[in-house]
Chain A
Amino acid sequence: MIRIEKLHKSYPIGKEKLHVLKGIDLHIKEGEFVSIMGSSGSGKSTLLNIVGLLDEHDEGNYYLNGELIKDLNEKKAAILRNKFLGFVFQSFNLISYKTALENVALPLYYKGVNRKERLEIAMEYLDKVGLKAWANHLPNELSGGQKQRVAIARALVTKPKVVLADEPTGALDSTTTDSVMDLLRDINNEGMTVFVITHEEEVAEQTKRIVRLKDGLIISDELTSTGKAKAV
């Protein structure tokens, strides 16, 4: 599903260059549930943004669903994002003036689905994350956990192949963290590839594979106990 070879990325800082990713090799197959760990500044978000086509890499190859990603224009990137990828962010990134239902329906609008169908599908996904009753509330009327579940519903609504989550539980307490992780596990069980950044060992342990980053390089890549259990 995702294949990365010798990926490099640096950010210009003034005249200097900050070399963030220094040759990443990573292969994630369809249906995997992978977490990335590493200290702050190790390049986790950078990697995820590149995988999510929100940013571009400098060197190396990136294949998404077998397609080489190179010199992508914004229009093509937008279409690929809409088709293959769903995002969950630490800070939720919901549109504040839209209701939960409208936020969830937004990706379908850009997919060209008509309004009636859009709202029906969105409602179905809100139901799935247990927030049907909150459909007509604005984001600022929801708790952090509820917002994140709305964001997950939005990530899922286009039936993407890969869900990318950057510290989805970073702003949540332990109970809501568990409910969000349960959701991600359910999604994975349905066959979706899930790729999560986290700082918390307990969270990482709930995935099937942990990739550890340090200073822009992968220092370890192992299956978790659940992962091993499944693999057997």
Chain B
Amino acid sequence: MFDLDRWREIFQSIGKNKLRSALSGFTVAFAILLFTLLFGMGNGLQNTFKNEFAKDAMNSIYIWSNYTTIAYKGNQIGRRVQFKNDDFTFLKETYGDKIQTISPKIQRSSEVVYKSEKDTYSVRGVYPDYYVLESAEMMDGRFLNFRDINEKNKVVVIGRMVEKDLFGQLSALGKQINIEGIIYQIIGVFSDPGGDSDERYIYTPFTTMQTMYGNNGYLDEFGITYNPDLSIDEAIAFGNKMLRELKEKHNVSPNDQRGIGLNNYATNNKEVSGIMGGLSILILVIGFGTLKAGVVGISNIMVYIVKERTKELGIRKAVGATPNAIVAMIIQEAVFITAISGYLGLIIGVGILELAGPSLEKYFILNPGVSQPVVIGATLTLIIAGLIAGYLPAKKAASIKPVVALNSD
């Protein structure tokens, strides 16, 4: 296939007919440029969506209890539903395969004192697994571990704002604080992109906290992450099933919206993925519209080019060019021009996205860009378009009688 002589003919024809080549190249480059920009911005919009909903773990489920609003099975309305440790065991054992991590939680507002500083914070008794539910990141020290749970250690992990409030510029790590009269050692400090209020929590081992508050096996909430292998629909079904079974276990009416509450991120994910799906389709429609316009453009230009070259083709035929040689020459030229200028448009488009990317964030476009497969697909489409666009007029030109071609002007 590689024929140096043929390429030489083509380069000469392109080089000596710059305006013509530039004209057709420009159409293709422009189409691909537009395609890249639109596609890239669409992707940026999608990234914004993904980012907004990815603050906490995407596969979280929270379950909490409250007062009943419906009388059920001999129980009065307004009864306080109370989760206990056996609910924790029940969930772990029943849904082991669907649960990735699970942590019970007790939460109390407590007065916290360090030397002369004091303030009130939410103190949460949790398992180490709770860490994956929050988007918190350790700045200093470590999070709770299972040894802390088993040994009921009097240790805490505090938020960045707690450290700032109580310790000022000093490091809190290793210091001791007083919570409701009991001394805890600080083993870690975390930050959280969720903002100041998310950085005013204090975490302590669940077992430690349960012992401090009545030692009755009571707990407030469950934080679960479901197995990421579950589809969104499976995850939603899983959440609903847990809710149903917990309601039954605690004699809460299936229709009671408040007695036991459950927040499943999978439901949000479904909405988000619906919106993203819509966006993707929009992007596809726009992107392919642009590409199609490019294909039509290059076809028209090829028709014009071949017409303009009819006489030259007649001369070539008179000196012995076969129809196939003519067709091959025109197609190769068309494909070459489309591929090169398409690539150029792509590079320019990607360059613009790179440069303009940061300033587009305020328009909800985040990290705009096009992926490798899209790039390759678009380029292939163009090459095929060049092929078709070149083939039809070339075939027509090659079938014109030489005498007619020679007499055309």
Of A79, A87, A111, A114, the contact of B318 (CB 8 Å cutoff): A87
Among residues of A, the one whose C-beta sits closest to the C-beta of B309 is A95
Of B9, B12, B320, B399, the contact of A81 (CB 8 Å cutoff): B320
Q: Contacts A95-B312, A97-B17, A115-B5 hold; do A75 and B401 have CB atoms under 8 A apart?
A: no
Q: Contacts A74-B322, A79-B322 hold; do A54 and B12 have CB atoms under 8 A apart?
A: no
| Size of the chain B interface, CB-CB below 8 angstroms | 28
Q: Find out whether the CB atom of A54 lies under 8 angstroms from the CB atom of B406.
A: yes
Instruction: Check: A55 CB closer than 8 A to any chain B CB.
Output: yes
8 A Cβ contacts from A77-94 to B: 78-79, 81-83, 87, 89, 93-94
Q: Find out whether the CB atom of A97 lies under 8 angstroms from the CB atom of B316.
A: no
Q: Contacts A93-B315, A95-B312, A109-B9 hold; do A78 and B320 have CB atoms under 8 A apart?
A: yes
Instruction: Check: B376 CB closer than 8 A to any chain A CB.
Output: no
Q: Find out whether the CB atom of A82 lies under 8 angstroms from the CB atom of B406.
A: no
The CA-CA distance from A109 to B322 in the complex, in Å, is 12
Instruction: Check: A149 CB closer than 8 A to any chain B CB.
Output: no
The CA-CA distance from A98 to B315 in the complex, in Å, is 12
Chain B's nearest CB lies how many Å from the CB of A68? 20
Q: C-beta contact mask, B292-322 vs A, less than 8 Å → 1, else 0?
A: 0000000000000000000110111111111
Q: Find out whether the CB atom of A54 lies under 8 angstroms from the CB atom of B401.
A: yes
Q: C-beta contact mask, A40-71 vs B, less than 8 Å → 1, else 0?
A: 00000000010010111000000000000000
Q: Contacts A79-B322, A81-B320 hold; do A74 and B399 have CB atoms under 8 A apart?
A: yes
Of B16, B320, B401, B402, the contact of A82 (CB 8 Å cutoff): B320
8 A Cβ contacts from A170-223 to B: none
8 A Cβ contacts from A94-113 to B: 94-95, 97-98, 102, 106-107, 109-111
The CA-CA distance from A163 to B9 in the complex, in Å, is 26
The CA-CA distance from A105 to B402 in the complex, in Å, is 20
Chain A's nearest CB lies how many Å from the CB of B72? 90
Instruction: Check: B323 CB closer than 8 A to any chain A CB.
Output: yes
B317, B319, B403, B406: which has the most chain A beta carbons within 10 Å?
A: B319
In the bound complex, residues from chain A placing their C-beta under 8 Å from that of B12 are 97-98, 102
Instruction: Check: A148 CB closer than 8 A to any chain B CB.
Output: no
Chain B's nearest CB lies how many Å from the CB of A12? 13
Of A49, A79, A106, the contact of B316 (CB 8 Å cutoff): A106
Instruction: Check: A158 CB closer than 8 A to any chain B CB.
Output: yes
Instruction: Check: A8 CB closer than 8 A to any chain B CB.
Output: no
- Tally of A-B residue pairs with Cβ under 8 A? 73
Among residues of B, the one whose C-beta sits closest to the C-beta of A81 is B320
Chain A's nearest CB lies how many Å from the CB of B162? 79
Instruction: Check: A147 CB closer than 8 A to any chain B CB.
Output: no
Q: Contacts A97-B17, A115-B8 hold; do A49 and B319 have CB atoms under 8 A apart?
A: no
Of A55, A89, A115, A158, the contact of B320 (CB 8 Å cutoff): A158
Among residues of A, the one whose C-beta sits closest to the C-beta of B404 is A55
The CA-CA distance from A78 to B405 in the complex, in Å, is 14
Q: Find out whether the CB atom of B321 lies under 8 angstroms from the CB atom of A110.
A: yes
Q: Contacts A74-B322, A110-B321 hold; do A89 and B406 have CB atoms under 8 A apart?
A: yes
In the bound complex, residues from chain B placing their C-beta under 8 Å from that of A94 are 315
Chain A's nearest CB lies how many Å from the CB of B159? 75
Q: Find out whether the CB atom of B402 lies under 8 angstroms from the CB atom of A54.
A: yes
Among residues of B, the one whose C-beta sits closest to the C-beta of A52 is B318
8 A Cβ contacts from B11-31 to A: 12-13, 16-17
In the bound complex, residues from chain B placing their C-beta under 8 Å from that of A75 are 322-324
Chain B's nearest CB lies how many Å from the CB of A18? 15
Instruction: Check: B235 CB closer than 8 A to any chain A CB.
Output: no
Interface residues of B (CB under 8 A from A): 4-5, 8-9, 12-13, 16-17, 311-312, 314-325, 398-399, 401-403, 406
Q: Which 5 A-B pairs have the closest CB atoms?
A: A82-B320, A97-B16, A110-B320, A107-B319, A54-B403
For this complex, 28 residue pairs linking A to B, each with C-beta atoms less than 8 Å apart, are: A54-B401, A55-B402, A55-B403, A74-B322, A75-B322, A78-B317, A78-B321, A78-B322, A81-B318, A81-B319, A82-B320, A87-B318, A93-B314, A93-B315, A93-B318, A95-B316, A97-B12, A97-B16, A97-B17, A98-B12, A102-B12, A106-B319, A109-B5, A109-B9, A110-B316, A110-B322, A114-B5, A115-B5
